[in-house]
């Protein structure tokens, strides 16, 4: 058992939850959906699928039935990873985008049908359920169907983001019909019902997901794409398969941190931790300038390499092992100057508005699960018959030569990353932090607080965060001590204090195993930056 200091020095609306069976999500109804499944005799994987399906209805600003997803789970014997990100349609080539958008277009568009790669989340639910589920697949989708049909009262944070996205997306195909039921975004506490999505969920439940990729839903999506100038075909959907993967890992302070391998950015968190491992962080004040400066610089170094090298594995110039090499990370650590901020470039390792949730059960199964439409509502396109809100992950491709250049059947660079912590080969914590490039930064910052400074998961979750953007630009939450911010500015960091914590600093969910789940259970945390809930029994 970790010797946490359960005193929380930060203002928060949350307290840690102790339980033998637990679910933590960013919406209470989704956490309750997962608990319903655990009460029925389901396991952690069953609960995660139920919660994920509910999240698609309860937090449409972040994910939907057209999302991608990833997961890492402890199955009772070993750690497994699954990549549920979808590939480019067969018609997507650099020439396809050049012809439509001109030679100056460096990426596929940010919104619209040509930003949509093939959605993978539903396929990942299917794969998880087939391999690990205890209850019938239809039982797992039932709570989400009920929420979609009966409706729910829109909570505060979700409503804020819904309203903020409306001006940009209101004219995208299907958006207003699905998400502006009164010609505007719902207000806080208004009832939102989503009968089209309920129709889709029923078909998904009845066919164990087959209708999404090889049936009526796939046909509707291909037809919707064609009607709106897209290139997606029924065959593109039929060809999709999620991929079981071995997580990449790095040791830190006696623990091992695990992330999904590329095409995701999880390796950035591992690289940053590998760099920080060369420093005695605990000798510096937890919220002081020295500790924060070291973390910022390590993260910048990691991102420099991640943005240069990470792509679909078959297109990468080097391997994750080369990027995580201890000697290489030590050389990168030596570049850090404690007195000044730097704008780092990529090294050479070669020698010669996402939802996150987690669930755990008393038999020891734990799952770290993340799914996303990417930029808020994603592409803004919503297939109206089935309420399929489509992601815009295709925007993560480049049309220019390089490892992330778009190609048929290729997966784009991905930001969503679940994480997992083990010690001596045994499970310790399933966790994640949502929010674009904030995710590896959130992984690193919260782990440092727990492993170097012994803060509890809830305190680490509530603590003030910073976010690196580019160059020397850093956003920082208003809760960060003013003296620390001023000292960091003095070292050359260009700090902007931000009041909107949700927008810039992500939100996390954490389940830490305290020992034998049947006897000591778990401690569970949920980020106060969203409408979430940590729940258990």
Q: Is 415 a catalytic residue?
A: no
Encoding tokens for residue 111?
């919104």
**Each residue's pLDDT expressed in tens, for the chain with a length of 537 residues:** 578 989 999 988 899 999 999 999 999 999 999 999 999 999 999 999 999 999 999 999 999 999 999 999 999 999 999 999 999 999 999 999 999 999 889 999 999 999 999 999 999 999 999 999 999 999 999 999 999 999 999 999 999 999 999 999 999 999 999 999 999 999 999 999 999 999 999 999 999 999 999 999 999 999 999 999 999 999 999 999 999 999 999 999 999 999 999 999 999 999 999 999 999 999 999 999 999 999 999 999 999 999 999 999 999 988 999 999 999 999 999 999 999 999 999 887 755 468 999 999 999 999 999 999 999 899 999 999 999 999 999 999 999 999 999 999 999 999 899 999 999 999 999 999 988 889 999 999 999 999 999 999 999 999 999 999 999 999 999 999 999 999 999 999 999 998 865 557 989 999 999 999 999 999 999 999 999 999 999
Alpha carbon dihedral 19, 22, 25, 27, in 10-degree steps, equals -80
A 10 A CB-CB count for 230 gives 23
Angle in degrees, CA 65, 68, 73, rounded to 5: 110
Sign of the C-alpha dihedral, residues 162, 163, 168, 169? positive
Per the structure block, which two tokens stand in for 146? Answer: 């009920």
CA distance 177 to 429: 41
Closest CA relative to residue 172, chosen from 59, 55, 66: 66
User: Radius of gyration of the chain from Cα atoms?
Assistant: 22
Kindly report the number of other CB atoms within 10 A of residue 60's CB atom. Answer: 27
- CA atoms of 31 and 22, how far apart (whole Å): 9
68-74/419-423 β-pairing: unpaired
Query: Element (H or E) spanning 123, and its range?
Result: helix 121-132
In DSSP terms, which residues pair with 423 in a beta bridge?
Answer: 426
Residue keyed to tokens 């297109």: 315
Nearest to 296 by CA among 462, 461, 474, 486: 474
User: Which residues are CB-contacts of 77 (< 8 A; sequence separation ≥ 6)?
Assistant: none
Determine how many CB atoms are found less than 10 A away from the CB of residue 459. Answer: 24
pLDDT of residue 352: 42
C-alpha–C-alpha distance, residues 63 and 27, integer Å: 12
Other residues' Cβ atoms within 10 Å of the Cβ of residue 30: 31
- CA atoms within a 13 Å half-sphere pointing along the CA-CB vector of 387: 24
> What burial class does residue 264 get, using C-beta atoms within 10 Å of its C-beta: 0-12 exposed, 13-18 middle, 19+ buried?
buried
* 136-139-141-147 Cα dihedral, nearest 10 degrees: 180
Give ∠ CA 494-497-502 in degrees, rounded to 5: 120
Under 8 Å between Cβ of 73 and 365: yes
CB under 8 Å to 18, separation ≥6 — which residues?
Answer: 514, 521, 522, 523, 524, 536
- The residue with tokens 């003296």 is 483
Tokens of 148: 């979609």
Beta-carbon-side half-sphere exposure of residue 11 (alpha carbons within 13 Å): 6
CA geometry: angle at 245 spanning 243 and 248, to 5°? 145
Measured distance CA(532)–CA(231) in Å, rounded? 37
Pick the catalytic residue: 207, 354, 422, 484? 354
């Amino acid at each position: 058992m970790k010797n946490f200091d359960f005193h929380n020095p930060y203002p928060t609306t949350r307290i840690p939850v102790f339980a033998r069976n637990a679910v933590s999500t960013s919406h209470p109804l989704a956490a309750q959906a997962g608990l319903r499944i655990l009460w029925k005799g389901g396991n952690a994987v069953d609960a995660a699928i139920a919660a994920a399906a509910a999240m698609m209805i309860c937090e449409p600003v972040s994910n939907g039935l057209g999302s991608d997803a990833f997961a890492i789970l402890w199955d009772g014997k070993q750690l497994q990873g699954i990549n549920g990100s979808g590939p480019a349609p067969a018609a997507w080539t650099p020439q396809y985008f050049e012809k439509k958008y001109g030679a100056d277009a460096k990426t596929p568009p940010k919104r619209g049908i040509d930003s949509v790669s093939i959605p993978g989340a539903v396929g990942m639910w299917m794969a998880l359920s087939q391999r690990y589920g205890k209850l019938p697949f239809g039982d797992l989708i039932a709570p989400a169907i009920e929420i979609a049909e009966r409706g729910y009262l829109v909570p505060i944070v979700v409503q804020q983001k819904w309203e903020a996205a409306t001006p940009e997306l209101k004219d995208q195909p299907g958006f207003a019909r699905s998400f502006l039921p009164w010609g505007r975004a719902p207000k806080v506490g208004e009832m939102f019902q989503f009968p089209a999505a309920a129709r889709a969920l029923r078909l998904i439940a009845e066919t164990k997901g087959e209708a999404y990729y090889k049936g009526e839903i796939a046909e509707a999506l291909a037809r919707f794409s064609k009607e709106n100038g897209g290139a997606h075909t029924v065959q593109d959907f039929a060809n999709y398969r999620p991929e079981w993967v071995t997580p990449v890992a790095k040791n830190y302070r006696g623990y091992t941190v695990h992330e999904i391998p590329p095409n995701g950015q999880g390796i950035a968190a591992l690289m940053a931790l590998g760099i920080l491992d060369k420093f005695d962080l605990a000798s510096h004040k937890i919220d002081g300038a020295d500790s924060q400066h070291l973390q910022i610089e390590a993260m910048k170094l990691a991102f420099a390499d991640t943005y240069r090298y990470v792509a679909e594995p078959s297109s990468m110039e080097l391997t994750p092992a080369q990027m995580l090499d201890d000697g290489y990370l030590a050389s990168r650590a030596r570049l850090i100057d404690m007195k000044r901020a730097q704008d780092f470039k990529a090294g050479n390792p070669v020698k010669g508005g996402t939802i996150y949730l987690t669930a755990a059960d008393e038999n020891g199964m734990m799952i770290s699960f993340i799914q996303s439409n990417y930029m808020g509502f994603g592409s803004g396109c919503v297939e109206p018959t089935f309420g399929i809100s489509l992601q815009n992950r295709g925007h993560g491709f480049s049309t220019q030569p390089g490892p992330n250049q778009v190609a048929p059947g290729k997966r784009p660079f991905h930001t969503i990353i679940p994480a997992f912590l083990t010690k001596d080969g045994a499970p310790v914590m399933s966790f994640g932090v949502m929010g674009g490039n904030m995710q590896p930064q959130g992984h690193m910052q919260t782990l440092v607080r727990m492993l170097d400074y012994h803060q509890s998961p809830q305190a680490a979750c509530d603590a003030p965060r910073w976010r690196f953007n580019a160059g020397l630009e850093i956003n920082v939450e208003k809760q960060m001590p003013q003296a620390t911010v001023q000292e960091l500015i003095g070292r050359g960091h260009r700090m902007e204090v931000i009041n909107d914590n949700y927008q810039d600093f992500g939100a996390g969910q954490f389940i830490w195993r305290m020992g034998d789940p049947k006897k000591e259970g778990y401690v569970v945390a949920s980020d106060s930056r969203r409408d979430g809930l940590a729940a258990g029994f």
